C-alpha cells in the first residue's frame, strides 16, 4: 500500500505506506494545532493513505511544513533502521521537504 501527501494541486509526495505513516507520526508529538493533529491521527489509525494539506487550516499547514523542514530528514537518519534501503528512504524524505518549497510555502513557516 502506498501513501500520498498532496501539498498543493499538482505537487505531491508518494511513498510506501510505512514511510507515509512514519512521516505523519513524526508530526503528532510536535504539532500544536489540535484539529490538525486529530485529523492526522485519524488518517494513521484508519490507514487512509492520503493527506491533503489544503484540507487543513492555513496555520496548521504552515506549522506542519515548518516541522518537516526543521527535522524530518534528520529524524529519519537517526531513527530509521540501517538497511540497504535507508539511503533511498532518506532521499525520499528530502524530496518531501523540497516539495514544500516547490509548493510555495513561505520560508518563514513556523518551526516547532
The full set of domain ranges for the chain reads 2-102
Per cent of the chain over pLDDT 90 is 93
pLDDT in tens, 12-60: 999 999 999 999 999 999 999 999 999 999 999 999 999 999 999 999 9
d(CA 44, CA 78): 22
Do 2 and 49 touch, CB atoms closer than 8 A?
yes
As given in the structure block, the three cell numbers for residue 19 are: 514511510
Distance of alpha carbon 46 from alpha carbon 82, whole angstroms = 28
φ, ψ of residue 21 to 5 degrees: the values are -60, -45
State the average pLDDT over residues 78-107: 95
pLDDT, residue 24, reads 98
Question: What rounded mean pLDDT belongs to the chain?
Answer: 94
Amino acid at each position: 500500500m502506498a501513501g500520498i501527501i498532496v501539498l498543493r494541486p499538482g505537487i505531491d509526495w508518494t511513498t510506501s505506506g510505512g514511510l507515509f505513516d512514519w512521516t505523519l507520526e513524526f508530526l503528532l508529538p510536535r504539532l500544536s494545532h489540535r484539529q490538525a493533529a486529530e485529523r492526522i491521527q485519524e488518517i494513521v489509525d484508519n490507514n487512509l493513505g492520503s493527506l491533503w494539506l489544503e484540507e487543513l487550516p492555513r496555520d496548521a499547514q504552515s506549522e506542519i511544513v515548518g516541522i518537516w523542514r526543521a527535522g524530518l530528514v534528520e529524524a529519519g537518519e537517526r531513527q530509521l533502521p540501517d538497511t540497504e534501503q535507508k539511503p533511498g528512504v532518506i532521499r525520499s524524505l528530502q524530496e518531501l521537504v523540497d516539495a514544500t518549497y516547490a509548493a510555495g510555502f513561505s520560508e518563514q513557516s513556523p518551526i516547532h
